[in-house]
Chains A and B, each alone.
Chain A
Amino acid sequence: MTLRSDAAIPAPHSERALLLPEPAERRLRLAGPWRATVLAEAAREAQRWHPGPGEWTLDLTGVSTLDTTGAALVHQLRQRIIQAGGTAEVVGADDIRQQLLSLVGEAPAPAASPPRPLRPVSGLGRWALDHGRAGLVLLAFLGAIALAALPALRRPRLLQPAAISAEMVRAGVGALPITGLLAFLVGIVVAYQGGAVLAPYGATTFMVELVGNSQLRELGPILVAIIVAGRTGSAYAAELGTMRVTGEIDALRTMGVDPLQALVLPRLLALMVVLPLVTLWADATGLAGGILIAGLLFDLEPAVFLARMPEAVWQSSLWLGLAKAPIFAILVAVVGCHHGLQVRGSAAEVGRATTMAVVQAIFLVILTDALFSVVFRQLDL
């Protein structure tokens, strides 16, 4: 909350509250409007002022208006005189002002805010524990989803085909333009950079190996997974988070509907089905980008490019790339739904959950992809 409105606009009252000590007569004369908006100088004056002991008079006759903030300052002044061993008599206060002063006086002292034990070491420890626990909770959530899916094995109707297909349109068809465009551009970049390296050796025909394998095996699946994590994973977290805040999740529970089964399973299954398809589409547009650059800049005819594809691109590249997609779908959907359902309390939490869902999903997608690379290499796939 650091919003500042236009400070150039003048305060409604240009007069200021005045504090005029007259130590000789043991008198404290207050004048002007003692209102919150014009009280700052008088308040600072009061902090600097040190009363000696004696019988002081607080003279409010010159005060034009008195609000609770002004009354609070008057009360503070009176308290300080009393603490200094003196007495304070207020004059020039009518009945209303007297009541205001006594009202201010009867308010209890403010509660001290709790200390914040955020020392670096204990903070780091708590952070690590929190994250470790979050991992366990995520695993437990995965298990709960699997349990919720069990009854559907016997009664497939429980899976709500209508909800799944609607979800597939939203998460899959809706993502086609952006994934297609981005994969196309990435295909252009890879072909261009690779071609620039291969051309001096007269080896531009190897662009087919380069573009084909990198696109199908790595770039296509991971690009799609990252876009879908930002597009759909965030939507899942925000939707379910909002439903929690508005009590819709609890409403489902009271009807005997399992939120995991009704909300999470359709989203998860839809994403698992649709993500490989979107990946296939991204593979195609990425190759199109590569073919375009190879033909335009490196004199590699599209027909030649396509003809070399079957021998140049390893069979495993396509299948491994497509096999990764459902795994990424599980990561994105489970992390998104999990953070959405974790929301407690206010709407601000929804924003935080959404951010967490996207960051964690992208992190897990890339981590898993790295693990896959190592495993496939070891298995010689």
Chain B
Amino acid sequence: MGEAVIELHGLVNRLGERTIHDGLELQVERGEFMAVVGGSGAGKTVLLRTLALLQRPAAGTLRLFGEAITDPEAPRVHPLRQRMGVLFQGGALFGDLSVTENVLRPLREHTRLPEPLLQEIAAIKLHLAGLDPSVGPQPPRSLSGGMIKRAALARALALDPELLLLDEPTAGLDPVAAARFDAVITRLRKLLGLTVVVVTHDTASIDAIADRVAFLGEGRILAVDTPASLRRHPRPDIRRFFSPRAAITEEESPWKRA
């Protein structure tokens, strides 16, 4: 404990001319559950893509598992990818593979385990993610939205990653399915010692599972604290993010009252 899995210092990200992040500072400790929140377009997904080594930062330093990463494409960085699992917002399941083969894709790439064991592992991962084994042989296009999320989670867990990156895992799920998803993550986290970074809008989910919350805005991380303390944060925009209905004021109303 106390060892930082993720360290960001002065991280700058640009997409074309637009500066998305202008000096991010963030540390995520091993075993921690960090939620990243912020308004639409605040750069949450770009941050997650940077952590997943899909986006090359324009400036600043990024350390994953204690290793400084300057070039995310360098061969030296490659083994780090085996130590993290990513759940993409839309699932990003391979359409031409069955669900089972989707889960086994990373295992087939990085291990040479015998086939019966592989099949058993796929069934275990599906079970961990809360899916029935009968889903395994089906193609992803026959699944519902919630099942796709869970199948994608099973795939992200395939190599038992130390770091799990989740992009909007509960978006588009009904409250019961979202709560079940949170329960799955919490249980896995305890058993597998996961470090989790999750991008989400779901404040109920944050309360249930997050240790700390990083609030992104104005290209920086405005606050990092527990969900409870962010509710009492001096900045009103942060406080309001956590208020029950994010009520809007009279001036902000898109229509003028008659």
Contact = CB atoms under 8 A, between A and B. Distances in A.
B113 interface: yes
Interface in B137-160: 137, 140-141, 157-160
A106 to B, nearest CB: 7
B120 interface: yes
Contact of B123 (A67, A99, A110, A347): A110
Contacts of A1: 94, 96-97, 105
B120 A76 contact: yes
Nearest to A67: B160
Interface stretch (A3-11, A126-134, A157-165, A252-260): A3-11
Interface stretch (A34-42, A222-230, A311-319, A333-341): A34-42
A39 B111 contact: yes
B80 to A, nearest CB: 8
A39 B113 contact: yes
A379 interface: no
Interface string A97-138: 001100110111111111000000000000000000000000
Given A103-B128, A111-B135, 7 more contacts: A5-B109, A36-B160, A39-B113, A69-B113, A107-B123, A107-B124, A113-B137
A368 to B, nearest CB: 34
Interface of A: 1, 4-6, 9-12, 35-37, 39-40, 43-44, 47, 67-69, 72-73, 76, 96, 99-100, 103-104, 106-114, 345-348
Query: By DSSP majority rule, is chain B's interface helix, strand, loop, or mixed?
Result: helix
A68 B107 contact: no
Nearest 7 CB-CB pairings of A with B:
A67-B160, A110-B123, A107-B127, A346-B95, A345-B141, A40-B112, A107-B124
A193 B149 CA distance: 63
Contacts of A99: 190-191
Interface string B7-25: 0000000000000000000
Contacts of B114: 43-44, 47
B125 A6 contact: no
Contact of A73 (B98, B117, B122): B117
B191 A96 contact: yes
B121 interface: yes
Contacts of B79: 9-12
A68 B137 contact: no
A36 B124 contact: no
A113 B133 contact: no
B229 interface: no
Interface string B37-51: 000000000000000
15 contacts: A1-B94, A9-B75, A36-B111, A37-B110, A40-B111, A40-B112, A43-B113, A43-B117, A67-B160, A68-B124, A69-B111, A69-B113, A96-B193, A113-B100, A345-B141
Contacts of B169: none
A100 B191 contact: yes
A40 B115 CA distance: 11
B205 interface: no
A84 B193 CA distance: 34
A34 B9 CA distance: 35
B137 A69 contact: no
Contacts of B133: 107-111
Contacts of B137: 111-114
Nearest to A97: B191
Nearest to A40: B112
B163 to A, nearest CB: 13
Contacts of A47: 114
A103 B96 CA distance: 30
A348 to B, nearest CB: 5
A4 to B, nearest CB: 7
Contact of A68 (B95, B109, B128, B141): B128
Given A5-B78, A9-B75, A346-B95, A106 B121 contact: no
A110 B78 CA distance: 31
A147 B107 CA distance: 54
A110 B109 CA distance: 21
